[in-house]
Amino acid sequence: MSASAELLESLCWELRRSFRDLSQAVELELAPLGITASDRSLLEFLAGETGPVSLSELARKTSVSRQHIHQTIKRLPNRGWVEASASPDDHRVTLLRLTREGRAFWKKMRAVDQHFFSRLARRFRTEDLRSAVSALQKLRSELQPTLGTHAERH
């Protein structure tokens, strides 16, 4: 294996470990708000939507099952953050959206995020962060055709 391939493999392993560690750190940061990283993820996706989104579409976008979305909504400390309604076009389709209260809570979560990342960012040089972001963006870009080809074969 070439030196570049070995470095890329090391980068990928560090990425996996970093993701695990980041998930644990985020859980600790969110604990005072009474939510989990899974709760945060659901609210983040809903906050990014411009209007109601179907349960199925949200499951696809987040790469989890519809059942997982249902369980996460039921587990939220405040069920008033997310509104579920039947689609006017097809009453079998459930549409989800953040309520005004959910958006206000999302802003609190973002403040926690910003504080966490600001604190962590002090330990890095800006140029190192730019290089890391660039490398990960290139890795994702290079993986996309592979993923598309794989999906077509299965």
**Domain locations in the chain?**
3-123
Q: Quick one: 46 exposed, middle or buried, by C-beta within 10 A (0-12, 13-18, 19+)? A: buried
Residue-wise pLDDT tens digits, 77-120: 999 999 999 989 888 889 999 999 999 999 999 999 999 999 99
Rounded to the nearest integer, the mean pLDDT of the chain is 90
**What is the pLDDT, as a whole number, of residue 2?**
92
Name the residue with tokens 């519809």: 66
Confidence of residue 38 (pLDDT cuts 50, 70, 90): confident
Determine the average pLDDT of the residues in 113-130: 96
- Return left, alpha or beta for 34; rule: phi > 0 is left, psi -120 to 50 is alpha, else beta: left
**Two structure tokens written together for 67:** 């059942």
Residue-wise pLDDT tens digits, 5-20: 999 999 999 999 999 9
Residue-wise pLDDT tens digits, 63-79: 899 999 989 999 999 99
pLDDT at residue 154 is higher than 80 = no
pLDDT at residue 152 is higher than 80 = no
Residue-wise pLDDT tens digits, 17-26: 999 999 899 9
**What is the pLDDT, as a whole number, of residue 149?**
59
Which CATH number is 3-123 given? 1.10.10.10
**Two structure tokens written together for 144:** 């996309």
**What is the pLDDT, as a whole number, of residue 150?**
53
pLDDT at residue 148 is higher than 70 = no
Name the residue with tokens 């906050």: 47
Q: The sheet that has 94-98: what strands, in order across it?
A: 53-54, 94-98, 82-86
What is the pTM (predicted TM-score) of this model? 0.79
Can you tell me the distance from the alpha carbon of 84 to that of 101, in angstroms, rounded to the nearest whole number?
A: 14
The 3-state secondary structure of the chain reads CCHHHHHHHHHHHHHHHHHHHHHHHHHHHHHHHCCCHHHHHHHHHHHCCCCCEEHHHHHHHHCCCHHHHHHHHHHCCCHHHEEEEECCCCCCCEEEEECHHHHHHHHHHHHHHHHHHHHHHCCCCHHHHHHHHHHHHHHHHHHHHHHHHHHHHC
